[in-house]
Structure 1
Amino acid sequence: MPSTIPAFGLGTFRLKDQVVIDSVSTALELGYRAIDTAQIYRNEAEVGQAIADSGVPRSDLFITTKVWTDNFAQKLLIPSLKESLAKLRMAQVDLTLMHWPAPAQPVPLEETLDALMAAKAAGLTRLIGVSNFNIDYLQRAIKQVGADHIATNQIELSPYLQNRKVVDFARSQGIHITSYMTLAYGKVLEDPVLAKIAKQHGATTAQVALAWAMQLGFSVIPSSTKRANLESNLQAQQLQLTEDDMAQIAALERGGREVDPKALAPSWD
């Protein structure tokens, strides 16, 4: 199994039942080897079924799940992760994340991180990390477990929301960034700058946005239910953008955040 977080994978947010089975099955058939799910997506069992039926060896895959805020207490985290593993039909995931900081929930961040470390020590997960953390939460996490134990911060990041402060701080600590919502719910697909760059490369706007994020060193986890899009997105790995392309995309920043649940989100940097 990959020792580091793959640059490209499949997201499964909002995909349920047969839809997620079909998406994961098609993706694995096309060559995807990293799959991202979460307890709150309520699709771990279907993801596990698609993986089991695919015939792809577990050792070739990189599987990520995320612990929901209801399970942040020390006494709940490991049992909830074991439940996730049972649904996924595997003994270990490659990466387990705290899904949101959820400032209002009563369990201290430090307790949850300690529980994640215990899950790692027990062999339930190879790596641990965080999601949707701002700089303050990252600093607290580093103080508790050390930056070496935080494999990634998975954050919303697209050409319209480049999250540079968090990215720069994470990089300074050696923490990898995973970008979700890289296509901003499809909003960037109509962008004229991306369209022009895509035309110059004989590519799609989605491929340009994904290639941009990967060239910056981020991992991406786009989702799709259509075979053609799954195949097309995969080809973003072969697209090389020029310095001028990258500069043009850098100028698209507009603070275009798509995901900001009040009870879960920190104060964004």
Structure 2
Amino acid sequence: MALASSAATLRTIPCLKDNYAYLLRDPASGETLLIDAPEEGPIREAVEDLGGRLDKLILTHHHHDHQAAAEPLRAAYGCQVFGPAAEADKLPPLDRALEPDAEIPFAGGFLWTIATGGHTLGHLAYHWPKGGAVFTGDALFSAGCGRLFEGDAAMAFAGLQRLKALPPETRICFGHEYTATNLAFAATAEPENEAARAYLAEVKASGRSTPSTLARELAVNPFLRADRPEIAAALGLSGAPEVEVFAELRRRRDKF
């Protein structure tokens, strides 16, 4: 899938079994930027199709299925590799180690780093204001969120609150295609959610769902709706703090 904005072209690259990488190209300068590197072959095909240039590779976190192709791509294209400073010891050598709230120049604008730890401790999402998109890796999926492998519920919840604060029209470009299963789980927490039901029918028809939008996720994603009294009630947590509702949702999703 390729989407255009006034800033650049954004192409979604399916990789491995269910991963996504995202390739951005500025038509004015030819500068090309990649978010995550799960698999060399499909990414190189996309890069060549867009002119054979890759300037920057930006990693969301250290898991192998997001960085496996980083070194082959650097060898092939000479791209600079960026990633979370907090995970630098688990990533390929970084040309720039990124802290939260940093800016990465691109296409006459920038990508802005957002702390979204929980799945891993140093996980970063990347907001591209000019292109109206955010690249969430494994912190936020369509209708779901990432497992808490290293951080805790409070950390993950705080990261999702930062993402919720973005403009509602922001496109959510996530790292895995889990949407149908996530929506099936969402129905157990909020069975009367008509928007989620309609979205599931759409996903089943198309087979894919990326990118979503924040507006849609606010309507269907239970992990962004932990403030809804009906979800708390369905979990037996009426009146509980939102972070407790979120934590219980994540525990149940782990077993779903």
TM range (shorter): 0.3 to 0.5
Q: Tell me which of the two structures has the higher relative contact order, counting C-alpha pairs closer than 8 angstroms and 6 or more residues apart.
A: 1
Return the TM-score normalized by structure 1: 0.38
Return the TM-score normalized by structure 2: 0.40
Q: By percentage of residues, which structure has more strand? A: 2
